[in-house]
Amino acid sequence: MDIKILTVDDNQANLDTLRFLINDIDFEDDVNLEVIEATNGNDALSIALKKNIALIILDIQMPIMDGFEVAKYLKKSSKTKDIPIVFLTAAFKSEEMREYGLHLGAFDYFLKPIDPLILVPKIKLYIHLYSITNELKNSNKILEQKIKDAIEQNSKMEAQLYEAEKLSSMGEMIGNIAHQWRQPLSVISTAATGVLVQHEFNMLKDSMLIESMETIDKNAQYLSKTIDDFRDFIKGDSDEKVVFNLKEEIEKCLDIENPILKQNNMEVILDLDESIEINSFPNGLVQSLINIINNSKDALKEKKEEKYIFITTKKNDKDIDIIIKDNGGGIPENIINKVFEPYFTTKHQSQGTGLGLHMTYNIIKDGLNGSISVKNTEYNYNGLDCKGAVFTIKLPI
């Protein structure tokens, strides 16, 4: 280990004495000692800034810049503020002077003439402390790098899981769309077959042809709309915000979710303010709503009685509230504060990554500059006593 000791004194004889005593110290085998000398404060500061100094032995009484001034400058620089300083003086003129030196950050002081019996063991102690500190710094650097690597690896893993979560949502949406398409495709097929049959038997009337074509066109437009909705979702938001109608985006979300909700006998009750316009990222909001609705859907699947999901929007003075609640029984109180944490899930591992609500939290907080909270609630709907979770999203106007 390289050890550099800087001695500062305007008297060359004192520097020679210090060099002789320090070089004669019996250090451990791995210590490579170098004594560097400076005869004034300016040179001392320049050397300390350029080299890795382990210890500074600093004379107090020097012309131009005394030892106290040098110590002040050393403590101001991040490069030199942690270097131990030992003052060298013929005598302190007062106890206040001694305390002032220690106040400036000095570790100790040596009196002139220098006593080897005091100097040598103290320098050995300071060098030992320096080596320990240096080892700790190196260990901290290694630890910091390991932590940085772990965080980077964790970020990559979380990004991959986010993508997996979104792909899972897409897969579920594709299933919903396929289910959603069955009826309009059946209507189109029936209308087209009816036209062909009636034409074959010369029974096709113009009114029947027009009605059938209108039915086919209407259902084809519906199919086209579901494709557009899905395409907009997977395309994601651009970096620019857009102004959109909140009611329309919620309905777009439900166009995707409704088929599977109806298949599970779940009814969505809407109370939406048609006038609310938001300048934000619509796809991020749709993704968040889908994640929350999926959470409610999972809670409602096992229920045998009526299954409800309520979505309400309100405009306040400073923000807009989107409230989603269900009658799925609520979230256990001992875990409700953890639902937005990454990888936390009440489902079996094969049924989810535990990133859905965490993703929602990040989208709303970081992407939409809003907030989301959850609590359990009890209420009555159409004479039915209900208990469930209520999610409240607040978005800035």
What's residue 277's pLDDT?
A: 93
pLDDT at 348: 41
Q: Do domains 2-114 and 239-396 have the same CATH topology?
A: no
Give me the CATH topology for the region 239-396: Heat Shock Protein 90 (3.30.565)
Domain 2-114 fold is Rossmann fold (3.40.50)
The kind and range of the H/E element at 278 are strand 277-280
DSSP labels for 103-124? HTT--EEEESSP-HHHHHHHHH
Tally Cβ neighbours within 10 Å of residue 131. Answer: 17
Parse the chain into domains and list their residue ranges: 2-114, 239-396
Q: pLDDT digit of tens for each residue in the chain (397 aa)?
A: 788 899 998 889 888 888 888 887 776 667 788 899 999 988 989 998 998 888 888 888 888 888 888 888 888 888 888 888 888 777 655 566 667 767 776 767 777 777 778 878 888 888 777 778 778 878 888 888 888 888 888 777 766 766 666 666 666 656 656 655 776 787 788 888 888 988 888 888 888 888 888 888 887 876 776 676 666 655 655 567 889 999 999 988 887 777 678 878 899 999 999 999 999 888 888 878 888 998 898 889 878 889 999 999 999 988 999 999 999 999 998 888 888 886 556 554 434 444 568 778 888 988 889 999 999 999 999 888 999 999 999 999 8
**Distance from the Cα of residue 26 to its chain's centroid:** 52
How much is the pLDDT for 229?
60
Q: Which residues have CB under 8 Å from 289's CB, separation 6+?
A: 250, 253, 322, 324
pLDDT of res. 351 = 42
- What is the pTM (predicted TM-score) of this model? 0.49
